[in-house]
Amino acid sequence: MGQVYRATDTTLNRQVAIKVLPDAFAQDAERLARFEREAKTLAALNHPNISAICAIEKSAGVTALVMELVEGDDLSQCIARGAIPVDEALPIAKQIAEALEAAHEQGIIHRDLKPANIKVRSDGGVIATAATVEGCRTELAEVIEAWLLVRVAQGLRVPALGRTTVQVKRAS
């Protein structure tokens, strides 16, 4: 959803990422309102493994989300280079899980979790980039995210360590 650009915040003199909404979204009042609600929800999150939302900007009919610029490859690029050793893959998976846990504690479900939305910095830090969210927790959403996390781990080519059980609790 949208094109992402590197830009300079001239007020604070820093590099940022700007995600410009496609015209179809920006011209649809319902989608735009949802996008703004989601951005406000995400902006309330403060976690080292979740990209920070800086602002929503509107100019000349263009709506853009200004976000923390995260340097590094996305996880899909890392996977494309070949198998990631277990001693590197496990910390990546742990940081993804910590980001999801922090979001879940705020009632936020990441609806577009995939390797392309996970940035891996050169220092090994992992950042889940802001994508689309759902503002309420549901049992189904938790199952889907658990499944996606398993798929990400499979993409990392982590060998199976036996049988895995996913425990799902009803959201309160």
Cβ-contact 70, 95 below 8 angstroms:
no
Of 70, 122, 129, 134, which is closest to residue 96 (Cα–Cα)? 129
Tokens of 94: 């742990």
Of 27, 32, 23, which is closest to residue 3 (Cα–Cα)? 23
Of 21, 26, 112, 101, which is closest to residue 66 (Cα–Cα)? 21
Active site residues: 112
